[in-house]
Amino acid sequence: MPLPRRFYNRDTLTVAERLLGKLLVYHSPEGELRGKIVETEAYVGEEDPACHAARGPTPRNAIMYGPPGHAYVYFTYGMYYMLNVITEKEGFPAAVLIRALEPVKGIPILQRNRGVTDFLKLTSGPGKLCQAFRIDSSLNGIDLCGSRLFVEEGGEKRPKVVWTPRIGISAGLDKLWRCYIAGNRFVSKTNTVQLK
């Protein structure tokens, strides 16, 4: 069951944290794929210099200004796609980047799409998980309250969460807007702060 739209229609940092431990589900042409979300980042409004909407609306970031609960997929570095979920009320550009997953279902498909078999390398990064799930710009704008691509409850209690600066950006490094499940092996980079 997809999470309801109200899950996304609130403060972006809250959504970023509450997505941890939940399941990303994609009914792909190759079969059903599932992964537990273990790492996310928040991008919040035109005042956030690292947000794609920092300089106002453009054709690329248009979906960020739309209603919450939709996917924002964009292409970068000439070869990778990034998957975000749109948050907050329509008209306010904000999103959560899905940075890493723990593979749950469709492992052979994920391995084939990635060209590697090592579990730890399948979906442990934002570019990797899109490659593994074959998520590309054809899914940009898709409604996450639909049945093709969505997030659902993971059935676990709230995980212990660590907050750090976001990865791969040059502005907004003062904000601790990246979060991940403490100790999870599928987080994209070696954890600098590890809770016991």
Chain residues that interact with DNA, rule: CB under 7 A? 41, 43, 50-52, 55, 58-61, 72, 74-80, 82, 84, 95, 97, 114, 116, 121, 125-129, 166-170, 188
Q: Which is nearer to DNA, 11 or 156 (CB)?
A: 11
Minimum gap (Å) between residue 23 Cβ and DNA: 19
**Smallest distance from the beta carbon of 158 to DNA, in angstroms?**
24
Quick one: 118 or 153, whose CB is closer to DNA?
A: 118
Q: How far is CA 16 from CA 116, 117, 134, 162, 169, in A?
A: 28, 29, 22, 12, 18
Q: C-beta of 157: minimal distance to DNA in Å?
A: 27
CB of 55 to DNA, least distance (A): 4
Question: Do residues 28 and 109 make contact, with C-beta atoms less than 8 angstroms apart?
Answer: yes
Quick one: 105 or 189, whose CB is closer to DNA? 189
Hey, what are 60's tokens? 């690329």
CB proximity list for 97: less than 8 A, separation 6 or greater: 40, 41, 42, 43, 82, 83, 84, 126
In DSSP terms, which residues pair with 40 in a beta bridge?
Answer: 98, 179
Q: What is the rounded distance in angstroms from the CA atom of residue 50 to the CA atom of residue 47?
A: 9
Closer Cβ to DNA, 34 or 166, answer by number: 166
